[in-house]
Amino acid sequence: MGNITTQTAAESLAMVVLPKTAWEGVVAEIQELKNILQKKSEEEVNNQWIESTQARKMLGVSPKTWQTYRDERRIPFSQFGRKIYVKRADLEAFMESHYIQSR
């Protein structure tokens, strides 16, 4: 049979004792790492390139309106041949700039 390892009760209950200040330092470091990873993840999402068709659908506009937005340079885009890409952050910035607050 395979290599099966069994833990004794003492091994499964092994503990490490730390001074409270050391433990609080570890917790603070973990929280800082979580914040860094979350920020990095958000940056990666915002820098993500989206194809033109998907961007148009996200905005909920017709192909003609989408073409007008590009012609008028309302939203930055990148074009390779016939393929057009937009950064998610630019779409969100466009939406924010057209946000209408409630009364």
Model pLDDT for residues 29-45, shown as the tens digit of each residue: 999 998 888 888 777 76
Determine the Cα angle at 30 with ends 29 and 33, to 5°.
90
User: 77 or 11, which is more confident?
Assistant: 77
**pTM assigned to the model:** 0.54
Domain boundaries defined on the chain: 17-45, 48-97
Written as one letter, the residue type at 49 is W
* Percent over 90 (pLDDT), the chain: 53
- Provide the H-helix boundaries in the chain: 9-12, 20-46, 52-59, 63-71, 88-97
Distances (CA, A) of 3 to 9, 11, 29: 19, 18, 36
Structural contact between residues 84 and 77, judged by C-beta atoms closer than 8 angstroms: yes
Over residues 93-102, the mean pLDDT reads 90
User: 8 or 77, which is more confident?
Assistant: 77
